[in-house]
Amino acid sequence: MSTREKRPAPDQSNLTGRQKRRAKNSNARKIGTPVEFTNALAKNTPRVTGAIRADEFTAARIQEINAMQTAIKNAGSALNTLTFQALPRDMRRRAASHKLTRLPAHLRAKAAREMENSPPAKRKTRRGKRQNKDDVVSREYLRRQKENKWLETHIYHTKRMHMSNIWGYRLAARPNVKSARSFYRAFQHTSIIHDGSYTGCLELVGKQDDILHVMNPVTDITLPSLGSERFIKGNRIGYTHIYEYLSCPGKPICPITFLWKPKQLKDESQTLWLWIHPSAFDQVYQQIKIASEKANKDNTVVMNDLRDEFVRFDFSGAGTTALLQAIVKPVEESDHIDKDTSSTFKSSKIWRDLYHLRSASSLPPGSILGLSVQDPRLAFAQKVPKRTNSIPTEANLRLTELLTHWPEDIAYSDIWDKNVRKTVLERLPSEYSLAERRQENLLPGTKLEFKHDDVQIPILLVQRSSGQNNKRGQQDTCKTELLEGWTLILPKGCAMAFWKSFMFAGARVAGYEDLRALSFESGSPSYPYDYLGSLACENVRDMAKHEAKNAWLRRPPAKRLNYYKLGVDRPFDAAFDSLISTTTEDVMDIDHKNGNKPTPEFYILHGHKTIISVLSAKTDDEAQISLLSYISDLYTKRGLKPITSLKLDNALVQVRLEFFDRGRPEANAMIYLVTDNTEYNTQTVYIRNREPGLKNKKKLLENLKEDDAEEEEDTTIMALDRNEKPKFPPSNDLIGYLTTANFSFDAGRGIGLGACTVLGLRRLQQLDT
């Protein structure tokens, strides 16, 4: 028999308000059943088998029925919440309290009874006021978008997510409910969708050589050129960085993705699309314009601003392919389309061959699939079928063949033609017209069939790879599957037609802060927060600095940290400018005409070979010469004039820190070198001496004290046992900062992303030797 006793009942006099409410509701739900029945019929009824008369049985149980009805009545009156208040927070709507159709169907009857007991609200008379019409509402919405534009899915987001005015748009930052863990679970099992339509598209039209002459001076020379054989055919998307004119690796602007138009027989010119973050779109446009002016006189490259001309949805997660397969339906599957003349028939067949594809990361990096699809509202609402582990043999063989021999003539789509995009926008049916077509169906709920006069929507399906990380030498630290997925590019005006289907099929919405968290979980930097040296990064750092400082000032002086006594001069930002040399020659570039913010002098070295060439040198002078020689050779290979000077003191390298033990770092944390061996042993004795199964630090210290160790090690252990605080390191040992830091769900420990100076990492190498 167990000796464990039950937990003692709480003292009724010391109950909290929440415990009192729970006790009240529990007592109200109890059904009082009498021990003895006074009904004479129940006592005298013989206990024999046979038929039961309803009247006699009811009379025998009348007291129990009355007790049950009384308990139900008391339980209902004891509750202090209404129906709409009992919903989860993410399902609550402001209109649910007075509009029954906003509630789930199984709760509308109960809410209707509650509304009958409440008196009707008095309505204000609107004498002399005209009702709002559609044109008035439209003008009001346009007025609100003068400073910050709205995406096509704005109304959906604004009811469910925190909205922020940033980068010239009104964007969704994060859901209204706590979603950090559920967001990570959704990625592992289902699909995550993000409306990235705010990413601007810049179109360059002209001869292929002319476009390359314009782009080579402003792109990353450590990455493959835009004219590389893998990208020039237009069947793959590419990644690179934009710098100021002939300034690489210094003065970075932003990372971009680019896509060439698949070549057609009749086309003499070539078209290039650049997808640029909105925080740097104007800056990139200006640098390309400068490069075009400095190119040859015969250069006839034309730049077209295609911002807000496309809808872009980014998908991630294990169930992304299954979700897209259920909603993206090619027009070739209809009997009204001539498959012999269709330009996308081959790509539509390949799209269905990918039905059993588990992860988009299995495809060739950056693969493009051009399709013409049906309006998903015709088959609304779609459901994602359950997946099984078994794959038919024939389908498996076909899938394996595609993954090993990916075709190159399936990337073209009519979305490249602006006339087709305009036609789709004009012919896209309204919700009212589709509802009228559904009323004509004999059986309610029947899906609409695609007709020959229905609009054909051209799209691009892009396998979003992490190619930018593969060129950085981060394969061992970055979990690229967290970033890889699909990107769906649509003509403008088609956002809500697809968005509603994705939502009803089970996709989870992510804001731009959620995307940053996803990049953090993968161990890769997120633009613009972690791309030091760019103007956009400086702007977001200033915003975060002011927010943190204002939050600190709102606290009483006795309740906030005294950073001055702790020796922290700049607690609200990462002072990277203090790590670089500040001589009279190092003056920041300032655009006095436009009054722009100064461009930082420090920059990040990208590319595995670039970093190795610097860290493998024996002395700092040799590292300076090696870096300048390596960069100059890359300029020469591109046919550009090599640079003559490059300061190694201003160079940074992105780093990723992991905690071996408990705790987690925070943003703006300082990274120091530990040059004192005694101090190093004090801080690492627990990690160096713990056993594989021993996680308790107290037990470890007891085991260490029992051993016959040296006197110096005993002193170290005693100091650790007394929890002595280490001395504040000298400023000369400061080598970097963390820009993003938190607890990682994927790694199960604290992780920080930041940057260190090249000279500081070289000192760290010398300590290890």
Which amino acid, one-letter code, is at 475? Q
319-to-179, 347, 354, 387, 719 alpha-carbon distances in Å: 19, 21, 13, 9, 52
b/e for 746-756, b at 16 or more Cβ within 10 A? beeebbbbbbb
Q: What is the mean pLDDT of each run of 10 residues along the chain (769 residues)?
A: 56 71 71 54 56 79 82 67 72 66 81 77 60 70 86 90 92 85 80 93 92 93 91 92 91 94 77 95 94 82 93 91 91 75 81 85 88 90 82 86 87 91 92 90 84 90 70 46 84 93 90 91 90 92 93 92 84 88 43 57 88 89 90 90 85 90 86 83 70 52 53 48 59 90 88 93 82
The pair of three-digit structure tokens given for residue 10, joined into one six-digit string: 């709480």
Comparing C-alpha atoms, which of 278, 273, 276 is closest to residue 303? 273
Residue 503 CB neighbours (<10 A): 16
Comparing C-alpha atoms, which of 312, 342, 243 is closest to residue 646? 243
Cα–Cα distance measured from residue 22 to residue 490, given in angstroms and rounded to the nearest whole number: 52
146-to-142, 170, 285, 539 alpha-carbon distances in Å: 7, 11, 22, 22
SS3 of 185-237: HHHHHCCEEEECCCCEEEEEEECHHHHHHHHHHHECCCCCCCCCHHHHCCCEC
- Cα dihedral 276→277→280→286 (10° resolution): 20
pTM exceeding 0.85: no
The pair of three-digit structure tokens given for residue 237, joined into one six-digit string: 């998307």
Q: Which residues are CB-contacts of 386 (< 8 A; sequence separation ≥ 6)?
A: none
Cα–Cα distance measured from residue 224 to residue 629, given in angstroms and rounded to the nearest whole number: 19
Looking at the DSSP bridge assignments, the partners of residue 206 are 270
| DSSP string for residues in 523-560 | T---TTTT-TTSHHHHHHHHHHHHHHHHHHHHS-GGGS
Cα–Cα distance measured from residue 521 to residue 694, given in angstroms and rounded to the nearest whole number: 27
- Percent helix, strand and coil across the chain, each to the nearest 5: 40, 15, 45
Q: Within 13 Å of residue 482, how many CA atoms lie on the same side as its CB?
A: 25
Order of strands, sheet of 603-604, starting from the edge strand that comes earlier in the sequence: 603-604, 651-658, 749-757, 734-744, 670-672
Where is 116: in which H helix or E strand? helix 108-117
CB 236 within 8 A of CB 636: no
| DSSP string for residues in 669-708 | -EEE----HHHHHHHHHHHHH--TT---HHHHHHHHHHS-
Whether the upstream peptide bond of residue 709 has omega within 30° of 0, thus cis, is no
The pair of three-digit structure tokens given for residue 370, joined into one six-digit string: 């051009």
CB 191 within 8 A of CB 506: yes
What is the torsional sign of CA 336, 340, 344, 345? positive
Which amino acid, one-letter code, is at 86? A
Classify residue 324 as left (phi > 0), alpha (psi -120 to 50) or beta.
alpha
Looking at the DSSP bridge assignments, the partners of residue 175 are 161
Residue ranges and CATH numbers for the domains of the chain are 200-305 (3.30.70.1400), 535-673+729-768 (no CATH)
Q: Is 324 exposed, middle or buried (0-12, 13-18, 19+ CB in 10 A)?
A: buried
Q: Which residues are CB-contacts of 617 (< 8 A; sequence separation ≥ 6)?
A: 623, 625, 626
Cα–Cα distance measured from residue 22 to residue 327, given in angstroms and rounded to the nearest whole number: 46
